[in-house]
Structure 1
């Protein structure tokens, strides 16, 4: 993959230090997304000379971010002719982040390293009647559990958290998460207070993070126009347009679940009527298949238990496709990724979803459209939260490590 090695501009103009840091970041991101590689491959990808590449590898090694070793043997232990080419790989005991995927009835917390490697994960219930501070305290306890397993001295680079709701981009304030009953809640502050440490915490909408992960290392690699549609009790979308996440002025873009689908339809908890979410959301699907209301948070697991679809799902699949057509007409994506419980729904009724899309989508944007399962399976949102937390380190490895707190990791593990 070609990488732009142009120098970064700093507040005082282009300078040698800025160029060095930019190149370190470019190399680290190359290995983070592409996996182990040789110096020769890095030289070709980054457009720099061999001695500069060697110096950058040495510095990333001294920072504890990469290691250099021989290429692995082929089948049967055989190697190619000649001296094996050293491979630049991510350090196994390097920095890590904690990723939090908050759902309506459960939360998944994982320790994730560079390269998107999930080292450990735990799950915990979310009480729908709990206050936000109680949910945050429960998440903090799970964070401590996964940090305890980290290698001694490995720095915690940050915490990334997904939320099924409207998250203000500027400060991570959750303006509205209706299925959690949250209005103007700051879960990052709550979690840090419960942990008793000061580490970087970043938050974003769950569908936005699903789009981020699928674009970077999932089914959307190399795709500049992608939409990740998430089913997590409610319905939301993360949009990648022209290779960039579309966030909106405050960070609230993608609330497709509250597009009007049927003006005469059911009342929605948002205060409107006939929203897309009321027709294809978890409660509508659960009602159609006779699933208990208290199981809607695990609807994906329920749907995975079906070998063939219940008859009622054919109608919902067609309605899902009809709703997707409005998104396709508006954004002209190349790929629409169906995440959350829509992943299982697509497995059961792919023809009905496709028929709904074809019924209402304009011919031109339909020509290049692909409906897809997530390349990262059920981990899209979790890995998106990890990518968000890793971004400061990837953007500037030197400053990112200075901000990482090995001490905080030790305190949390103690």
Structure 2
């Protein structure tokens, strides 16, 4: 019941009775228990639709369970405080300093950003966890980033590092940013979509999958590294050490190279501006990257048969420019049966998808076991 309120918003007791299949007295008892835990409250009533009393409205209390969310990607660092029900208290994002790329320095930067956000929370808030999204393969069991080639990290115990630097009495969970982008899109933007792929485009390409309504993670959390699948055997070397990976043809670096734009901050915006002005190299670059993007998506559509493929990061920002060549390539590559089913759309959460997914990761324990996660006896 708490999960329904968290994902779908306020509901009346009668609505909760209908959607859960529980009887009225059980709903009343559960609402009372969650109220004692400080997670929900009753305010207002629905108009009576017939005989009987109006039904009380049940609302989540965002301050009853708050997550500190962190996102580590190549060109930026994001931190947010998010409460139950998806309420964003504060969110800040900064460009990553090029001379502060080490894990230890990055963790120290997180502390500086997080302090004011935590101080600004309501006095009666309850912090329940820290969630971190990172652009790299991450072992969920202990929060070790085993390999993040575009960050230059290998075997970094990020969860332990954040615990030490933040000094907060709550658990720290770390996961791949594309997996968390998929989780956020599934929970906050497209609830009810049981088969969803989230393609994250930054310096590299990540893929998160929701299959049968559940995240597809693999044995250790490494599933979904689509950016390092082979798409061009005689292609360019990749930072992972292989050659011809998908991200070498459809990633940010490929787009900048083809458009003749120097890499660095503002490069993508420069390509977009040149394309809007009719610059031929920029337009050709977008068509070429869109084609490679579509070929990779076509492979994934054949493999996973999703209802929807969500494009995030760079692909969300450039969606309108990439869409024509991408769509043509998907149609050429995907089987007609599965290709016709898959809608390809831009992220509903924009650049904050992975960061909001990190918050959802930290709040998951509260949804699974409200009493235990809030320290109730």
Q: Which residue of 1 aligns with 2:224?
A: 254
Q: Which residue of 1 aligns with 2:30?
A: 56
Contact 2:46 2:56 in 1 (8 A): no
Picking from 330, 340, 346, the partner of 2:303 is 330
Query: Does residue 286 in structure 1 map to residue 250 in structure 2?
Result: no
Displacement of 1:142: 1.3
Displacement of 1:269: 1.0
Picking from 185, 190, 199, the partner of 1:229 is 199
Q: Aligned in 2, Cα 1:272/1:93: closer, same or farther, shift over 3 Å?
A: closer
Deviates more, 1:199-208 or 1:88-97: 88-97
Contact 1:300 1:340 in 2 (8 A): no
Contact 1:300 1:342 in 2 (8 A): no
SS at match of 2:154: strand
- Partners of 2:174 and 2:98 lie apart in 1 by 20
Q: Aligned in 2, Cα 1:248/1:197: closer, same or farther, shift over 3 Å?
A: same
Displacement of 1:203: 0.6
Displacement of 1:358: 0.9
- Partners of 1:136 and 1:52 lie apart in 2 by 45
Gaps of 5+ in 1: 1-26, 74-78, 404-414
- Partners of 2:272 and 2:13 lie apart in 1 by 44
- Partners of 2:267 and 2:82 lie apart in 1 by 26
Q: Which residue of 2 aligns with 1:156?
A: 127
What is the aligned-residue RMSD (CA, Å)? Answer: 2.1
Query: Does residue 140 in structure 1 map to residue 111 in structure 2?
Result: yes
Q: Which residue of 2 aligns with 1:343?
A: 316
SS at match of 2:180: helix
Contact 1:165 1:178 in 2 (8 A): yes
Displacement of 1:382: 1.3
Displacement of 1:299: 5.5
Deviations 1:40-88 (A, max 9, x none): 0111111122111111111211211111111489xxxxx9899654210
SS at match of 1:261: coil
- Partners of 2:361 and 2:192 lie apart in 1 by 19
Deviations 1:266-296 (A, max 9, x none): 111111111111001111112222333122x
- Partners of 2:116 and 2:272 lie apart in 1 by 29
5 Å matches for 1:350-365?
350-365=323-338
- Partners of 2:130 and 2:82 lie apart in 1 by 10
Query: Does residue 176 in structure 1 map to residue 147 in structure 2?
Result: yes
Q: Aligned in 2, Cα 1:308/1:34: closer, same or farther, shift over 3 Å?
A: farther
Gaps of 5+ in 2: none
SS at match of 1:355: helix
Task: Report how many residues are paired.
Answer: 369
Displacement of 1:327: 1.1
Q: Which residue of 1 aligns with 2:237?
A: 267
SS at match of 2:168: coil
Q: Aligned in 2, Cα 1:189/1:61: closer, same or farther, shift over 3 Å?
A: same
Query: Does residue 96 in structure 1 map to residue 66 in structure 2?
Result: yes
Contact 2:67 2:81 in 1 (8 A): yes
Picking from 319, 330, 338, the partner of 2:292 is 319
5 Å matches for 1:370-389?
370-389=343-362
- Partners of 1:301 and 1:86 lie apart in 2 by 49
Q: Aligned in 2, Cα 1:139/1:366: closer, same or farther, shift over 3 Å?
A: same
Contact 1:213 1:380 in 2 (8 A): yes
5 Å matches for 1:382-401?
382-401=355-374
- Partners of 2:343 and 2:267 lie apart in 1 by 24
Q: Which residue of 2 aligns with 1:35?
A: 9
SS at match of 1:253: coil
- Partners of 1:391 and 1:209 lie apart in 2 by 12
Q: Aligned in 2, Cα 1:107/1:307: closer, same or farther, shift over 3 Å?
A: same
Deviations 1:194-250 (A, max 9, x none): 22333210010010001111111213x222211100012100100112222111112
Deviates more, 1:64-73 or 1:319-328: 64-73
- Partners of 2:194 and 2:182 lie apart in 1 by 11
Contact 1:124 1:142 in 2 (8 A): no
Contact 1:137 1:190 in 2 (8 A): no
Displacement of 1:398: 0.6
Contact 2:135 2:148 in 1 (8 A): yes
- Partners of 1:258 and 1:284 lie apart in 2 by 14
- Partners of 2:54 and 2:270 lie apart in 1 by 50
- Partners of 2:140 and 2:103 lie apart in 1 by 19
Q: Aligned in 2, Cα 1:46/1:164: closer, same or farther, shift over 3 Å?
A: same
